[in-house]
Amino acid sequence: MDTLATSPSDVAVEPDRIRAIPQGKVGVWWFLASEIMIFGGLIGSFILIRLAHGGWHAEADHVHWRIGALNTLVLLTSSLTMAWACDAVKERDQRALKTFLFLTMLLGLTFLGIKAFEYSWEISDGFTPATNLFFAFYFTLTGLHACHVLGGIVANTLLWLCAVRGRRWPMIQHRVEFAGLYWHFVDIVWIFLFPLVYLS
């Protein structure tokens, strides 16, 4: 006979499993949940207003999808290097951690550099947030995302400095994982922004 009913001892195990999740990790996931609501609200508004205004196809033709695709490649690659940094910290490989955190920072800066170049190109062509509703959304969504990338670069730089100095190793271990969660979230936001703004 199958024993599907949970015994009192099974029930007691569940709160212990929840307690086993590091508090910092739960905190980061709550923070990411609030970020989902921020970006979700903006993306939802963009989709609804875009549909209400017939799709904004003429306006969307002015954004450079090739640059957007290049930036997607850069950010996806930075997610790989961040995942490698998390692997390195688990195996206590300090040299690999330094290398991959540095590469992640570098790729983040590359993303921002390409974005800045793209903005300057669009603004010199006369497309600013005041041009029309599409560009108001475009600059808000991509600008907010770029601010988040900058935040991730700052966090990774601080962790990289700790790794270079070789101090506070136990503290770094968890924080690299938390910074990784944030960095991958920023990547996921771009994964949706790219088709929404550049390809649709």
Q: Which stretches of the chain bind another protein, using CB under 8 A?
A: 17-18, 20-21, 25-26, 29-30, 32-34, 36-37, 40-41, 43-44, 47-49, 51-52, 65, 69, 72-73, 76-77, 79-80, 82-84, 87-88, 90-91, 93, 96, 180-181, 184-185, 187-188, 191-192, 194-195, 199-200
* Residue with smaller CB distance to another protein, 80 or 112: 80
- Minimum CB–partner distance for residue 118 and another protein (Å): 17
Smallest CA-to-CA distance from 107 within 138, 133, 85 is with: 85
- Minimum CB–partner distance for residue 53 and another protein (Å): 9
- Minimum CB–partner distance for residue 181 and another protein (Å): 6
How far is Cα 79 from Cα 21, in angstroms, rounded to an integer? 23
- Tokens for 194? 């790219």
How far is Cα 157 from Cα 160, in angstroms, rounded to an integer? 5
- Minimum CB–partner distance for residue 4 and another protein (Å): 18
How far is Cα 102 from Cα 96, in angstroms, rounded to an integer? 10
The C-alpha angle with vertex 16 and arms to 12 and 19, in degrees rounded to 5, equals 145
* Residue with smaller CB distance to another protein, 13 or 128: 13
